[in-house]
Amino acid sequence: MKRLFPLFLALSLSLSACGAPTVGDVGASEQFFAMDTIMTVNVLDENGEAAVQAARAEIDRLEQMLSRTREDSVIALLNTHAGDGSALAVEPELGALLRFAQSVSQDLPGCFDITIAPVMDAWGFTREERHVPDPDTLADTLALVDWRALTVAEDDASARLEEPGMAVDLGAVAKGFAAQRAADAIRAAGGTSALLDLGGNITVLGSKPDGADWRVAVKDPQDTERQLGVVSLRDKTLSTSGGYERYFEANGITYHHILDPETGYPADSGLLSVTVVSSDPLLADALSTALFVAGRQAALDYWRSRDDFELILCGSDGVVTVTEGLTFAFRGEEHGYTCETARR
């Protein structure tokens, strides 16, 4: 196992600077590729290797279950059987995940739909052959998008897609679900202080070993080398969705990978990025995608209706809206942003 990555090195330097034992002496870290992205798991407890390996095993297990491009995954099987009337037996944890995704669709109408897969394919986002689909193809695939036509048994043990051609894509929730399970695995292995970076979805367990909050940067969506600000966190996930993460250009127009399920086109709600902070990694991941489609006003309305997440919304108008429950050090002014606080 590799022990020192740049982030890790920075952590050990800052720790040694204030007299605590260096992370390299007691913690463990591993970086790997999973779910189509680079992931890093850092456990800062003594003998952290077992916890790191437990987290990685969970992530690998879930990728095997959730990836629709792996022919033998349960999701690929669910998709293959679309419309043939058979209900596929699934692990209850997967049934519960599908139902959770449906609850987000219900709460935020027109914003979130895991049956978006055929439209993702029409844009070539799945196979790296990205292009603007022709109108007929777009209309045909959009007609297949309907989360209500995904039936999940009440005991979560089986699922079925009602129409031929329908397909599920869990890209909006898989990393959050993996973070949830990986964090559980770290706790079960005795880990108390950890930082997981699953492709930019950051989950922190506990505090830093010296008792301080973790400090996690939020990127400037217009220049990801820069920061909009830094959030202080403990036992939370910070998940960001933005049009800058996966996109292509055609005829001078940028097309990104978060689609509006109503139009089939990349969402154009006036937001450049949405960051959700929550104790629930899965909720943070799902909502960052859904609220990116919803836009600033709908996102804030939804925030006011609940008490289990906070938001940082970066608009194309240069306004960064931060909900009042966060400790956020704004750093965007020199890059032309202004910051406002949203209150309940």
User: Smallest gap, in angstroms, from Cβ of residue 35 to ligand ADP?
Assistant: 8
Summary count for the chain: helices (H), strands (E): 10, 17
Contacted by 65, from Mg ion, ligand ADP, none: CB < 5 to 8 Å by type: none
Annotation-wise, does 289 bind a ligand?
yes
The residue (of 256 and 331) whose beta carbon lies closer to Mg ion is: 256
User: Smallest gap, in angstroms, from Cβ of residue 152 to ligand ADP?
Assistant: 16
Under rule CB under 5 A, residue 326 binds Mg ion: no
For residue 288, the surrounding DSSP H or E stretch is helix 281-294
Q: Nearest 5°: phi and psi at 26?
A: -115, -25
Choice from 29, 73, 289, 323 touching Mg ion (CB under 5 A): 289
The residue (of 81 and 246) whose beta carbon lies closer to ligand ADP is: 246
Q: What mask of x and - would describe binding to ligand ADP in positions 287 to 316, judged by CB under 6 A?
A: -xx---x-----------------------
Under rule CB under 6 A, residue 272 binds ligand ADP: no
Q: Cα separation of 336 and 200, whole Å?
A: 24
The residue (of 30 and 113) whose beta carbon lies closer to ligand ADP is: 113
The residue (of 86 and 106) whose beta carbon lies closer to ligand ADP is: 106
The residue (of 112 and 303) whose beta carbon lies closer to ligand ADP is: 112
User: Smallest gap, in angstroms, from Cβ of residue 170 to Mg ion?
Assistant: 10
Under rule CB under 6 A, residue 241 binds ligand ADP: yes
Strand ranges, E, within the chain: 28-34, 37-43, 88-89, 150-152, 158-161, 194-198, 201-205, 214-220, 223-233, 236-242, 247-250, 253-256, 271-278, 310-315, 319-323, 328-330, 338-342
Q: Is 324 exposed, middle or buried (0-12, 13-18, 19+ CB in 10 A)?
A: exposed
Query: Residue holding tokens 């129409």?
Result: 163
- Which is it for the CA torsion 244, 248, 252, 258, positive or negative? negative
How far is residue 257 from each of residues 119, 220, 274, 315, measured CA to CA in Å?
A: 10, 18, 14, 18
* Bind-site residues: 172, 285, 289
* Bind-site residues for Mg(2+): 172, 285, 289
Point out which residues bind ligand ADP (CB under 6 A).
112-114, 116, 120, 169, 171-172, 199, 241, 245-246, 257-259, 261, 285, 288-289, 293
